[in-house]
Structure 1
Amino acid sequence: MVDIPDSLQCLVTASVTEQAGSYRIEIPREEVERGELNAGEFYRVGVLTHTGASSPSESPDTDIAPNATPQEPQVPPVDEGEVREVTIETLGEKGDGIAKVERGYIIIVDGGQPGETVTVNVHTVRQNVAFAEIVADDS
């Protein structure tokens, strides 16, 4: 299980690239421009392995070539006020349910329990994470 702390500022999918003898993971410009992150500050970074396709070019989630810069950022696959059914996969650090939807996008569900399939109302949407409340327990 992956614990997602409340201090999570940004969640991105990126490739590791080599540049000038070191390795780099790039954070999208939008994360800094929106004020979620500040250039020049230090952040802890967790790296999770990608399961599924063996390389980004084989991934069904993207048609961007490896090491290419996307022209437009992907929009979150959910909207504020949207009601949808999700399955809670794990619990976060504070006990909230964690569900994943399209492209691995995370929805944090207040009161969700692992294994539950629930209908939620999405109340807050960020570029890489959304927050929702349960409106019906479907399990």
Structure 2
Amino acid sequence: MELSDDVLCLFSGVLDQRNGSYVIEVPERELTLGTLESDTAYGVAVISQETISVRKTDTTKSTQQHEDPEPPVAEGEHRTVDISDIGDQGDGIARVERGYVVIVPDTELNERVEIEITDVTQTVAFGEVIEREEYYQ
């Protein structure tokens, strides 16, 4: 199954019945990592667990791709990003494919910068500013 780069997060959940409605809980980590925001509307796709289970048993590589997709950036890569948020420590936060977070120190909200990726983990990357773009370019 191919996933669009527009997918912000991917997790498994159980459909529960509560007070005449059905609910799927979003893991807290999706909000903590900044992938999603509360009180915001999102489109949701529901995939049968059977489909996921069949795909997981196809190959070991397939299982790894579904559970832990590779980060969409690599160390040394240059990217132009928009700083969409400022973190608790004052560093800029940019989001790239699948909502993956890149932390960029010494940036301001809504700034567009060219960065070099300096460190990559499964959930977040860090970058350094190479060049700042003019505001209305």
More helix by share: 2
Counterpart amino acid of residue 115 in structure 2: V
Provide the aligned C-alpha RMSD in A. 3.0
Q: Give TM-score scaled by structure 1 length.
A: 0.60
Distance in 1, matches of 2:126 and 2:74, equals: 11
Q: Which amino acid aligns with 1:112?
A: T
1:80-119 equivalences under 5 Å are 80-119=75-114
3-state SS of 2:74 partner: coil
Matched residues, percent identical?
A: 32
Out of 13, 17, 24, which is 1:16 matched to? 13
For structure 2, the 5+ residue unaligned runs are: 1-8, 17-23, 57-62
In structure 2, C-alpha distance between the alignment counterparts of 1:15 and 1:79, rounded to whole Å: 27
- With normalisation by structure 2, the TM-score equals 0.60
Residues 92 and 55 (structure 1), Cα distance of their counterparts in 2 relative to 1, 3 Å cut = same
User: Runs of 5+ in structure 1 lacking a partner?
Assistant: 1-11, 27-43, 58-64
Structure 2 CA distance for aligned equivalents of residues 51 and 116 of structure 1: 25
Which is higher, the Rg of structure 1 or of structure 2?
A: 2
Aligned length: 102
Whole-Å Cα distance in 1 between the matches of residues 117 and 124 of structure 2?
Answer: 11
Q: Give the equivalent residue in structure 2 for 1:124.
A: 119
What CA distance in whole angstroms lies between the structure 1 residues aligned with 2:123 and 2:82? 18
Q: Hey, what does 1:55 align to over in structure 2?
A: 44
Write the distance in 2 (CA, Å) between the matches of 1:18 and 1:46.
18
